[in-house]
Structure 1
Amino acid sequence: MADKDGTDGGTSDKEPMKRKEYERKLKDLHAELVKLQLWTKHTGAKVCVVFEGRDGAGKGGVIKAILERVSPRTFRVMALPPPTEREKSQMFIQRYLPLLPAAGEIVIFDRSWYNRAGVDRVMGFCTDEMAKKFLSAVPYVEKAIVESGVILLKYWLEVSEEEQTRRMESRIDDPRKIWKLSPMDLESYSRWYDYSRARDEMFEASDTQWAPWFVAHSDDKKRARLNIISHMLSRIPYEEVPREKIELPKRQKAHGYQEADYARHLVPERY
């Protein structure tokens, strides 16, 4: 069961969590996420979860853990590509607003409108003035989002310099991860303190009573995933939805049907 007390998480000197313990605890949280899914559909709730953080902090792993046992029809992930020329001419947050949840939906942003306060600012895709204008406006936009009935949760994943370096180096020779090392990723890695300053200013401007930032330290990925999912569940007032007992119906009779030789093109059994 997920904790409902919303306990705060910080840096930890605990031993790295063992896989068996992690999988056991994650199984319990998956059951709670399914309850959340059914409650969201039943009540028409609207939930929006924003994930931001350092490169290599584990945002993708947390999102993958959340989605593992739920329906993509209810849980939708938004990871937007760079804006088009038309989108660049719009109000910055405009492209994100149509993606907010409707009734019965949970939308997860794998990076969000806060690109303007982070990567855009640090990498020179916008001016400091543009970033400051965004930061002055975003609390009011988020207040409007919350007042419209959306449950808005914002998470920042923080990783140490040493662990970020270890994770980046592990991607270099791993064919499964090499796509995570673009030239921009490498340039971003070199700008640790620029990102620190941008993060600090972002928190100062947008950590509000109606849309606070929750920080998770993720040097231990397994603990971070469990802590974030548990906290997310604690911040949403979901309840178990009554369901009728499920029984499989009887299958129809064959009435003379003979299995056809339909498998004309078999997948080769190579393993």
Structure 2
Amino acid sequence: MKYQPFDSGVLFIPACERWKSEAVNDPDQEYLGDMLRIRTLTRKGQAPADILHYFGLQPVGLANAADDDRSFDRIGDIQLQVFEEMLALTGEEYRLDWSRRDGAFCLWYRDRDHRRDATRDLLFVRTNAKALFGGAEIRNSPVHGFGLFALRKWSAGEVPCGRLDGQVLSHDEYEQLQLRMAPALGRMRHFFFMEWNALPDDMLLARPFRTFYSFINHSPNPNLKVSFDGLAPCMGNCLSLIILRDIQPDEEFTLDYRLEPLPRGYFETPYSGYLTPVDLPSA
């Protein structure tokens, strides 16, 4: 750097602890991945002079676009300096970046508080869940959390999704992957470990990202079913969804989770208390 650098500790410590605490307890605060917005430095995020002024630095010049480019290069140096100095001073990750919500230039903190969960953010799940078929929407559900709702009439026998694919692995392998990876995923840990279908012999058909399927809630009187009939064309790696009865617009899609060959001990786990085992007739 050819200019006198600022001191991140003087600018942000100890106030950053208070900013962090306030932001963590604000349900409407903005996230960028698992980075939590804790401080707005300047709302004129596209004006490099305002950003540099915050750090007590002068812009390269104001004559032309090339001067702005050099100023933004300097801002890149500032971003790196803040990250490195704050990591050394606090042992935690702080970053400078622009808000996707309002374009402000902000200080962000990597929030590893596992009480906060991206899957509880309706805008997040709508934006980042893969749509398996049209005519459906994720909404708040009276059954549980978020649910999948019909946007049009669906008739019995329709196949809204003819391919639920994924990776085949054992239930034990899946649990081990979750234990190893989840702590590093912060508030998105449940986003990557919430969607699978049970296959015979304690095997799972798992997907590494969320789709409409994972927002279909359980009901003992469902209007959808998972069909295993489509396994052959997919080399054993896909299933399909079939409408059991007519579904009206704004009605919630539901499945009976118990009709899948759930892994051993699943009904004894704390998160399956809303299910009761069902005895299926032999094939």
TM-score class, shorter-chain normalisation, is: under 0.3
Q: Which has the larger radius of gyration?
A: 2
Q: Which of structures 1 and 2 has the larger relative contact order (alpha carbons within 8 angstroms, sep 6+)?
A: 1
Considering fraction of residues, name the structure with more strand: 2
TM-score, normalising length: structure 2: 0.20
TM-score, normalising length: structure 1: 0.20
